[in-house]
Structure 1
Amino acid sequence: MNPQIFSRIGTQLSLYTGIILGVLVWGCSEDMREQPSFSYQESPRRHSPQGSVPQVDLTAFRTSLTQHDPGAYLFSINCAHCHGTEGMGDGPVAGYLPELPANLQAPAVQKKADDVLYGIVTDGKDVMPAFEKLLTHEERRDLVSFIRSLPDPRQSSNQRPPESVQKKGMF
């Protein structure tokens, strides 16, 4: 074949490819001025008719847990799966851990100074992870305050820990 034919075919192919790419790129502008949803000197949009949008008191949807005690809310998210909702070390994950979580209602825990509890929450202990990078200083202080507010087990009725905890030989 003649090399001039290949040259002519290559020129035509590159010309058509350039035209097709130019048409495709021309329609892909990301300029905010050219948005079809906005036009210059557009009249303001009318508001919805009075009463068509229901007015709801959003404070009614706040939970009393987060509204009154942020420590309880943080405990329910970060701690209850191991320590249990009442802090007795009987959470749903407790049976799967190599060491049982501490019973936060126990007198030995409640006797510890706030700074000691804060240090445990911050740095972790045994299988408990450190919360220094997950929670702010204020949130960790709220957790310590919540741990202090847990009921004294000696004042409550004789509650036995769940069987999964009893099987570990702790009671």
Structure 2
Amino acid sequence: MLIAAWLFCGVQACSRDMEKQPSYQPQEAPRLHSPVGSVPRMSRSVSTPLPTREELDEGARLFRINCSHCHGRDGTGNGPVVAYLKDQPADLHDPYVQGLSEAALYDTVTYGLAVEGRDVMPAFQGELSAEERRSVVGYVKSLPQPY
């Protein structure tokens, strides 16, 4: 019985199962981040509670300070620095933008946005707290859609 157990363990040690495991090669960069421009799958379906009046007011204040120079005070993408930008900022009233989930917008505000390898929107992860970013997203989602 002891010999059978020893043989079983020896055979298992020769298994090739590890060849299917991810491995790192010497000098390989760590794989810590998602590809640029990607949105985690869970972000598409997560919803958040409706923001309070205080959160919307705070979101509007933070939007004026951090976002209006590109997106304009009204969110239509006509801020004062647009003439100096390579890409037109998004009109936040647009049905496509308004159709995005709160989580997808939160990810965009947090990590920024890159298109074809170019940064088109900066990340605000280091500038705004998570609560402040949620307030901005709540404000953006509250903007009216055009008719």
> Normalised by the size of structure 2, how large is the TM-score?
0.58
Paired residue for 2:67?
79
Regions of 4+ moved over 2 Å:
none
Corresponding letter in the other structure for 2:102: D
1:75-129, CA deviations, whole angstroms, 9 ceiling, x for partnerless residues? 0000000000110000011121000100100000000000000000000013211
Shift in Å, 1:153: 1.4
Asked which structure has the greater CA Rg, the reply is 1
Paired residue for 2:141?
148
Corresponding letter in the other structure for 2:89: P
Q: CA RMSD of the aligned region, Å?
A: 1.8
Paired residue for 2:5?
none
CA distance in 2, matches of 1:133, 1:147: 20
CA distance in 2, matches of 1:81, 1:89: 9
Equivalent of 1:114 in 62, 81, 102: 102
User: Which stretches in structure 1 are left out of the alignment for 5+ residues?
Assistant: 1-65, 155-171
Shift in Å, 1:73: 0.2
User: Which stretches in structure 2 are left out of the alignment for 5+ residues?
Assistant: 1-53, 115-119
Q: Which has the higher contact order (CA 8 A, sep 6+)?
A: 2
CA distance in 1, matches of 2:56, 2:87: 33
Q: Which has the higher strand share?
A: 2
Secondary structure of the residue aligned to 2:121 is coil
CA contact (8 A) 2:56 2:139 kept: no
| Count of residues in Structure 1 that have an aligned counterpart in Structure 2 | 90
Paired residue for 2:130?
137
